[in-house]
Structure 1
Amino acid sequence: MNIQKTSKDVFLAIDANAIVHRAFHAYPSTLQTEDGVQVNAVYGFTVMLLEALKQFHPEYVLCAFDTKAPTFRHIEFAEYKGTRKPTDQSLLDQFPLVEEVLKAFNIPIIKQEGFEADDILGTISKMVDSGKWKNENLDFYILSGDRDLLQLVKNDIRVCLPAGNFKNLVLYDTDEVFKYIGVYPNQIIDYKAIVGDASDNIPGIKGIGGKTAVDLLKEYGDMDEIYKNISKLKPRLQVLFGEGIEQAEMSRMLATIEQDMHVDIHLEDCRTKDFDRSNVLEMFKKFSFRSLMTKIEDLFGKEESSDSPQLSIFGTNSNTEIDWQSVEIFKELTGRSKEMIIGYVSKEESYNGEPFYVVRFNFVGGGSQDSLFKEIDTQIPQDCITTFYNWEELTAQKHIVLNYDKSFDTMLFAHTISSGKKTLTFKDLAFDYAGKIFEEKLSPLRMTDILDAIVEIREKETKKANETELYEYTLKSIKEYLKVDGDYLINVLKKVEMPVAEILGKMERRGIKIDAGYLKALDTEVKSTMDRLSK
């Protein structure tokens, strides 16, 4: 979709109900939060919102919603939308969550009992086109999933609808509407009055189809002119229009979007505003929308403030000297430490494909030091409290001697307390437990950020473990086999997960010895058997 750049300010109005409904059916119901709350419609809506903000760069934006109350159309025609199935409760439950998204982005929400979102958008469009905002030099765009809104299209008013892929938008101006339906926007109401609209249970004139309606509107312009010239129609059409006049008038009323509502909003209320990224981050964490965080940075840029919740992503400058320390320095600092934080960045997560270590030494006499290493020593003092990131991959690379009772690994523990989780990366852990944003590839220039995140991840994981209620059978098994009476999941980590990871790491380092002679003999035996059976 190409947005024509003009000197006018862009006003983007969103038909929230239509987009949420489309999103609900476009994304799988398996999109859920960690607590099992279904958020597929919220996710789809948020994807569309960010895509629209990216494409339109609006100066003004608002979102219109339906309400649960009957509209004036239901009062006039009780069967209006009467053929629709009841809305799925799992969809209804997501509307308040969508409003949370909009509030986090400081986007105004408008809804009014007795009217639909379409009517709000129709009224706003008239305010822009010929009402109190007509001199504000605005290009007005409506984002919807509802073709009914195409009747509002004019020179400075356009409608965008998703097509095919939910995120693909098609922009409709007057010419595009004509190509799409065969009539112009100002004829759509009469078109629906004649043919009806099954989705809204608008009856129309029984027996007249779309092609006939298009032909008549091309010849006569509107329905009133058709009735004025009814004697010129074919006998069958004369009968149908004559018998259906009341239905046609009612259908026209039902199909007409109201444009003269009282909407208590000022243009300045709709001006795009800054938003608190920490609130958006917390919301995305709540909804498990990790993948959308980078879209925020693409759209609004990266925050540089050190007070921000780590939204700034520092790239690696090839001209920056990285102060790598030696294994001898690691040994010396380890000997003075009461606690160590060790993050192993594997080649898969490293910015240049080369693994490295970030280490924080907290010294016995006070003070600390953060350092970078390409290699570390394999000996950790038995009385040193050690927190790891990526122990499983680290121990696959080298045999580390340490006291498991004084050790902790953030990656293994994340899997211990959330066993259904897929493969995690540091980016995932930092987002889920520390509310910090990192790129997929980690740079040594973010050493302190990485170490701070590991500390916070450990604290949040421990808190979650302490708040987790275990099944009685699980609790009994841990007590019986591990001989512990507290910190059950942490003890599973220290007494089971980390030692097993070391054994698996040793297997990976050494490989598994095979008896080549036996396998060769087995191969000969199998071939002989196959030859015998095939004869």
Structure 2
Amino acid sequence: MGKGGDKLFILDGHSLAYRAFYALPLGLKTSKGLHTNAVLGFTNMLLRLLKDKSPDFMVTTFDYPAPTFRHRSYSAYKATREKTPAEMKEQVPLIKDILTAFKITISELEGYEADDLIGTFALQAEKLGLAPFIVTADADAYQLLSPRTKLLITRKGITQLEEFNVEKMQERYGLTPSQWVDFKALKGDSSDNIPGVPGIGEKRALQLLKEYGSLENVLAQSKDIPGKVGKNLREYAEQALLSKDLATIRRNVPVSLQPEECRCQEADWESLFKLFRELEFNNLIEKIPELSDLKKRNSREPSDDAATDYFRQSTLFPDEYTAGKGIGADSLPEINKAPEEEGFSFITDDKDLEKLCRRWQKEDEFSLLLNAGFGRGKAFLAGAACALKGGEVFYIPFDNGGLFDAARFFKLLGRTLETPGNTLVTHDLKPLLKLLSKNGVKPACSFFDTLLAAYLLEADRPAYHLPVMFEEYLGLSIREPEKGLPEEETARQRAYFLGTCARHLFALRETLLDGLEARRLKDLFFNLELPLVGVLAKMELRGIRVREDIWDQLAAEMDESMALLEKEIMELAGEEFNLNSPRQLSYILFEKLKLPVIRRIKTGYSTDARVLQELSAIHPVAAKIMEYRTVAKLKTTYLEGLRPLINPETGKIHTTFNQAVTATGRLSSKDPNLQNIPVRLEEGRRLRQAFIPSSEDSLLLSADYSQIELRIMAHLSRDPNLMDAFLKDQDIHTRTAAEVFNVSLEEVTPLMRNRAKAVNFGIIYGISDYGLSQDLQIPRAEARKYIENYFNRYTGVKRYVDECIKTARENGYVTTVMDRRRYLPDINHSNYSRRSFAERIARNMPIQGSAADIIKSAMLSIDREFEKKGFRAAMLLQVHDELIFEVPSEELDEVAARVKSLMEGVLPLAVPLKVDLKVGRDWYHLDPLEGG
């Protein structure tokens, strides 16, 4: 019997096997022709679970290959489902063999589906005090969620799992677990051929359940539901109830969970080794220490006593061998002819480094990976791994004993990089360029950044971790350094890891190049994204100067403001209490002041911003609390959060620009995120007052694209009214207000303009009538009318929006003006919420992504112009559609004119791009530049 809280993982065998089968290419098979894609994907998922989740118990369920009770109830159940591919069928027994070797219990029962076993086991586990985790690719399992039972649902591929509890399900879908079967009963399920009710799709099913709570209530009230929906509910009531019965997972299957029989234990490594060898999972054998050891014992390599010191064998120049420095001869392992260690050399002295430098100069390309970090304008280097195209690998350690200093290494490396004609391949180029610049190297060679290339191919990835890239693009599994080992062993493993990665970068580069070619992204990569890395590196190194005394003054003002607000709140509340305690605040608002409860949460009553916003119309204390929270957040999050990020040596903030994070192609920043400073509030804007030029004779110049997204909308949609407004240089929000409210330009009021502005930007982001009504605090019907009027007047925009979604459905992706792509896997999804989200992206991405293309192109053009003209002016920041420059006073007129010209002429559109120029002594006090 397990202890309370022990974790039972219940795997949905067939569901996960199918997911793996379709996630990995069918071309994965052994030399004898046995397909292995499903087995490999399932095994990788299993290994990840065992490593990351540490289950106490585990059981895997499978569908029994025979009709179930559902087929007897409804003969057409799953009748439309395609037959299981033969390539998949042959792999199921192999998956079961893998599970058996891992000593994981397998369960299947005639007459029932795996789902029914899962539901039964989860319920029994709860009664035994266990914590069940259901691992599946099947959304049917949502109905099994409970306060104790959680789901791990596969997302991208097979190893990425998203955890769901009851709260997250409700947040995502707006349904409780018990409503999931009602949802399926109403809308049907084509994959299982569950009929549902004709004419009711996901959206209507969600609306009905939100209003009536359950299928039974919907049917009982169907007489009050108007139109065809009500008619179909009455006519197909029996079919709806049958659908619910078919969709309901049984939880009383005649099986008994025996925890001790399911306890996770040591695998049968011998059996697993034989299986992996038969399936030719050589990378997995190397990855798992127990299997790797078995391989060594079974191999015919020379015995340990025949081995000599690895370092002596692999030194670059054996006749000039020097021991005892850094990761020296005394700390390196005996020979181990694992694939990653063959042809591996440690650079142990300056002569070896000089000779390696001469080798570089003879090569047309080589790869380099740094064991480096960069933060707050400072670089630190622990080591470097280099590989030649022929397969030789060299590691230069910097972290043990100070073998070389960075300056010496980069001086020698610079001899090669400052000569045109060769190519350096790396992963994440920007830190390398910053380190080169810090050491006076100005590269003239070519670069290839595998991280950036992967980003252009898959912009939605959360990260571009190199070992994951190797596994997904090349099928290579590279073991990462283990944690918690002695320092010397950690250093050794890190060296081999970096070296192995450097060796395989060439193959990864070729695969990524093929992808860029196939998707017509090479031009975007080589002519925009790759050269932009150097521009961003310079901006990060340059940083922006900060006056801390300004922030001292602002902090004092904020403290005074918070104290005054706190006093006013206490007076309105009638007693003193801890403003930062949600429990005490809840008591004051809802028990003492008797304000209406807006939303309940687990711990009582919610006091979040949305609740306070509603309450502010009833009682002044709510508005004061919101004001207090705003000032407090500005002080703690921004004012106090920014101070530690000032580099004490430079007196500047050196933000980091993320080039491979946003799916739209836009740049973001971190440490700090200067784009996030709230500028709608006066206190937030005043934070910018501390940002100043580096020298007294310089000014800050702001160049901001005016309405760039709406101009791009006009270009892409070719809507005549929208184009006319920009061609006449009219205020676009005033023009839209005149169109939507059917008045003349002179009759537009500030309120009309404000609402038109919300409509303009809302249309770009796919806002709904509900969303617009919330933004403008107006009735939903009025918001709907605004949107309808907009599309009636701007018919070209409506056509464009519809065409975006149509194209996305057909192609699976949308593009920008420079052919940047974003893939939309959910654009044809049966789930309404996921499909709707993909549709919003389809209409918005071409606009946001094109804006990103334009400002990036402008940054590149401006940087080249500054270099060409020899300007002392420098680009400091990119914030949304704005560029900030530091400009010596004597250069201001010429620089401003060139910046404006380059930004407005960077890409010809059907309407002109417009840039507004402002100048000032700090980022807060910026005034329009005369003539700008």
**2:55 aligns to what?**
58
Q: How many residues are aligned here?
A: 331
The residue that corresponds to 1:71 in the other structure is 68
**Would the aligned equivalents of 2:188 and 2:194 in 1 still touch at CA under 8 Å?**
yes
Q: CA RMSD in A?
A: 3.8
Equivalent position to 1:287, from 279, 295, 298: 279
Equivalent residue for 2:32, pick from 15, 35, 38: 35
The amino acid that maps onto 2:283 is: S
Among 49, 63, 71, the alignment partner of 2:46 is 49
Instruction: Give the Å deviation of 1:179.
Output: 3.0
Distance 1:103 1:345 in 2: 28
Structure-1 residue corresponding to 2:732: none
Which of the residues 115, 118, 123 maps onto 1:118? 115
SS at match of 2:82: coil
The residue number in structure 2 matching 1:396 is none
Q: Provide closer, same or farther for how the CA distance between residues 344 and 45 of structure 1 changes in structure 2, counting only shifts above 3 A.
A: closer
2:83 corresponds to 1:98: no
Q: Per the alignment, do residues 123 and 135 of structure 1 end up closer, same or farther by CA in structure 2, a change over 3 Å counting?
A: closer
Residue 167 of structure 1 deviates from its aligned partner by: 1.8
Structure 1: runs of 5 or more not aligned: 1-5, 311-319, 328-341, 356-392, 394-421, 428-438, 443-535
Paired residue for 1:150?
142
- What secondary structure, in the 3-state scheme, does the structure 2 residue paired with 1:262 have? coil
Structure 1, 197-206 or 278-287: larger mean CA deviation: 278-287
Corresponding residue for 2:79? 82
Give every structure 1 segment of 4 or more consecutive aligned residues whose post-TM-superposition deviation is greater than 4 Å: 300-303, 305-310, 320-324, 342-348, 439-442
Map Cα deviations across residues 486-534 of structure 1 (whole Å, 9 max, x no partner): xxxxxxxxxxxxxxxxxxxxxxxxxxxxxxxxxxxxxxxxxxxxxxxxx
Alignment partner of 1:349 out of 337, 342, 362: 342
Listed one character per residue, the Cα deviations across residues 224-274 of structure 1 (whole Å, up to 9, x for unaligned) are: 122222233224332111101111011011100111001144111110011
Residues 292 and 343 of structure 1: CA distance in aligned 2, closer, same or farther (over 3 Å):
closer
Q: 1:46 offset after TM fit, Å?
A: 0.4
Partner residue in 2 for 1:10: 7
Q: Which residue of 2 aligns with 1:263?
A: 255
1:172 corresponds to 2:147? no
Q: Residues 375-432 of structure 1, C-alpha deviation per residue, up to 9 Å, x if partnerless?
A: xxxxxxxxxxxxxxxxxx9xxxxxxxxxxxxxxxxxxxxxxxxxxxx9x9xx9xxxxx
Per-residue deviation, 1:172: 1.1
Residues 1:232 and 2:224 aligned together: yes
Query: Does the 8 Å contact 1:196/1:251 carry over to 2?
Result: yes
Deviations 1:4-58 (A, max 9, x none): xx97211111001001101111111121112221111100110111111122100
Partner Cα separation in structure 2 for residue 19 and residue 60 of structure 1 = 18
- The answer for the alignment partner of 1:461 in structure 2 is none
Higher RCO, Cα 8 Å, sep 6+: 1
Match of 1:33, SS state, is coil
Given the alignment, which residue of 184, 188, 196 partners 2:180? 188
2:178 aligned partner, one-letter code: N
Taking the TM superposition and a 5 Å limit, the aligned residue runs for 1:305-324 are none
Q: Which residue of 2 aligns with 1:278?
A: 270
Helix, strand or coil for the counterpart of 1:268? Answer: helix
Q: Per the alignment, do residues 230 and 100 of structure 1 end up closer, same or farther by CA in structure 2, a change over 3 Å counting?
A: same
Secondary structure of 1:198's match? coil
What is residue 620 of structure 2 aligned with on the other side? none
| 1:347–1:354 Cα contact (<8 Å) kept | no
**How far 1:100 sits from its partner (Å)?**
0.7
Quickly say closer, same or farther: Cα 1:234–1:321, change in 2 above 3 A.
closer
Shift of 1:182: 2.6
User: What is the CA distance between 1:288 and its match in structure 2?
Assistant: 0.8
Q: 1:347 to 1:152 in 2, by over 3 A?
A: closer
Contact 1:278 1:309 in 2 (8 A): no
Residues 349 and 440 in structure 1, CA contact (< 8 A), matched pair in contact too: no
Following the alignment from structure 1 to structure 2, what is the Cα–Cα distance between the partners of residues 347 and 119? Answer: 46
Deviation per residue, 1:107-130 (Å, 9 max, x gap) = 01001111111110011011123x
User: Amino acid of the residue matched to residue 89 of structure 1?
Assistant: A
Q: Is the 8 A contact 2:285 2:291 kept in 1?
A: no
Structure 2 match to 1:452: none
State the distance in 1 between where 2:50 and 2:338 align.
35
Distance 2:70 2:186 in 1: 18
One-letter code of the match for 1:107? I
1:181 Cα deviation from its structure 2 partner: 2.6
- What is the CA–CA distance in structure 1 between the aligned matches of 2:340 and 2:186, rounded to whole Å? 66
CA contact (8 A) 2:8 2:125 kept: no
Residues of 2 paired with 1:108 and 1:202: CA distance?
A: 31
The residue type equivalent to 1:127 in the other structure is Q
Counterpart AA for 1:154:
S
Supply the AA of the counterpart residue of 2:213: G
Residue 238 (structure 2) pairs with residue 246 (structure 1)? yes
Deviations 1:442-489 (A, max 9, x none): 9xxxxxxxxxxxxxxxxxxxxxxxxxxxxxxxxxxxxxxxxxxxxxxx
| Structure 2: tracts of 5 or more residues without a match | 300-308, 320-334, 349-389, 391-473, 480-492, 497-932
User: Share of identical aligned residues, percent?
Assistant: 33
CA distance in 1 between partners of 2:244 and 2:224 (Å): 22
C-alpha separation between the residues in 2 aligned to 1:74 and 1:306? 48
Aligned-partner Cα distance in 2 for 1:73–1:181:
27
**More moved, 176-185 vs 43-52:** 176-185
Q: What is the CA–CA distance in structure 1 between the aligned matches of 2:139 and 2:339, rounded to whole Å?
A: 51
Q: How far is 1:220 from its partner?
A: 1.7
Tell me the amino acid that sits aligned with residue 191 of structure 1.
F
Amino acid in structure 2 at the alignment position of 1:175? E
